[in-house]
Amino acid sequence: MSEKIITFIGGGNMARSLIGGLIADGYSPQHIRVSDPNEEQRTSLSGRFGVQAHADNETAAREADAVILAVKPQVIKSVAEPLGPLLRQQGTLTISIAAGVRESDLSRWLGGSVPVVRTMPNTPALVQTGATALYANAHVSGVQRDLAESLLRAVGITQWLDDEALMDAVTAVSGSGPAYFFQLMEMIEDAGTELGLPRKTARLLTLETALGAARMALESEEDPAGLRRRVTSPNGTTHAAITVLEEGGARELYKRALNAAAARAGELGKMLGEQ
């Protein structure tokens, strides 16, 4: 993969994260290009990573093996349409990391018959611990599929989907998911301070506990329910807390929350496709 030319259209946080992950994995900066209209952004990117920075999208995309559209969903149509003829001519793999933009709409804006991989990364990709779902259309070759996976794996784990409709569920689970855990941390920290802990102590204990629990879940062969049962002694302190959460309807509340997120993801995808 190290000899492939990779172009990023848009040099924001997610592009920076992917570029940093690729270079950390040994990818040559000489084979990475970035296009961004902001001169300060271009200077920063080239200075920090040693990549080629361009003001013009077509210049950056010329002869590229993969073009990663790392722009806001609201502007992706205006970016994709002018690039379509060049990408079709080159057979370039187009990877979208724009939330909510459906493959069929992006392919239409590009002019059709273009290999497209739609992805749904999440914000922990900024610290190389992301979770990304990918969906490839019928024009993506096996080699291009491997390339897309390698690129996104630079910032975390990857999972392929056979059905693009599942992207709305992915958005609800992992795309929006970090906010659920941030809110939970926030609430535990607040409760800890109300119990008398200093704010700094409550925060540190909360964050390290969250990190440790996630690491245990990742490294264990047991599912989260099994791990929960293992640390919940009958009639103990954890049992008392879990009972309150269950009786308060926490499980049903999270189910409703994720259903709302998935529904909204579908609505936004439809709106973006109609723009």
Query: 95 and 138: one domain?
Result: yes
Range of the domain at 148: 6-167
Average pLDDT, the chain: 95
Residue 259 lies in a domain: yes
Check whether 274 has a pLDDT greater than 90.
Answer: no
| Alpha carbon distances (Å) from 133 to 161, 162, 236 | 7, 10, 39
How do residues 127-139 score in pLDDT, each as one tens digit?
999 999 999 999 9
Q: What is the mean pLDDT of residues 24-47?
A: 95
Query: 163 and 185: one domain?
Result: no
Check whether 275 has a pLDDT greater than 90.
Answer: no
Q: What is the mean pLDDT of residues 42-55?
A: 96
Domain boundary pick from 167, 185, 211: 167
Residue 235 lies in a domain: yes
How many angstroms separate the CA atoms of 229 and 179, rounded?
25
Nearest residue to 117 via CA among 130, 98, 125: 98
**Helix or strand or coil: residue 143?**
helix
pLDDT of residue 2: 59
**Helix or strand or coil: residue 273?**
helix
By mean pLDDT, which of 2-6, 96-100, 102-106, 109-113 is the weakest? 2-6
Nearest residue to 68 via CA among 30, 130, 124, 22: 22
How do residues 175-234 score in pLDDT, each as one tens digit?
999 999 999 999 999 999 999 999 999 999 999 999 999 999 999 999 999 999 999 999
Confirm if 151 and 66 have CB atoms less than 8 A apart. yes
Query: What percent of the chain shows pLDDT beyond 70?
Result: 99
